[in-house]
Amino acid sequence: MKLNSLGRTNIQVSELAFGTLVISPLQANIPKKEAQYLLEYAFEKGINFFDTGHLYDNYPFFSSIPTAMKTKWLFLLNHINQHLKG
């Protein structure tokens, strides 16, 4: 997997990201154990960039993944401000 520098930092980010919405209850709603397997498999293949957000309701998928592995991941967290007037 090709890695790219993140701006002017020493952080290396995989060229591909794993968009976690597709495994969330909002879409595929796959079992927790299967989701954790997919996340770990992606990491083993070189992906360290994971796109997630509170709305996706998929944080439990990350709970059983070893901390040593998660410290090498980069997360893009999406947040929707529910107090927007419109």
* pLDDT tens digits, one per residue of 16-53: 988 888 888 888 888 888 988 898 899 899 998 888 87
- Domain residue limits at 35: 19-78
Residue 45 domain-assigned (yes or no)? yes
Which comes out higher in pLDDT, residue 7 or 67? 7
Residue 40 domain-assigned (yes or no)? yes
DSSP 8-state class, residue 47: -
Question: What is the tally of structural domains in the chain?
Answer: 1
| pLDDT of res. 23 | 85
Residue 2 three-state SS: coil
**Cα distance between residue 76 and residue 68, in whole Å:** 19
CA 76, chain centre distance (Å) = 7
Residue 70 domain-assigned (yes or no)? yes
pTM: 0.72
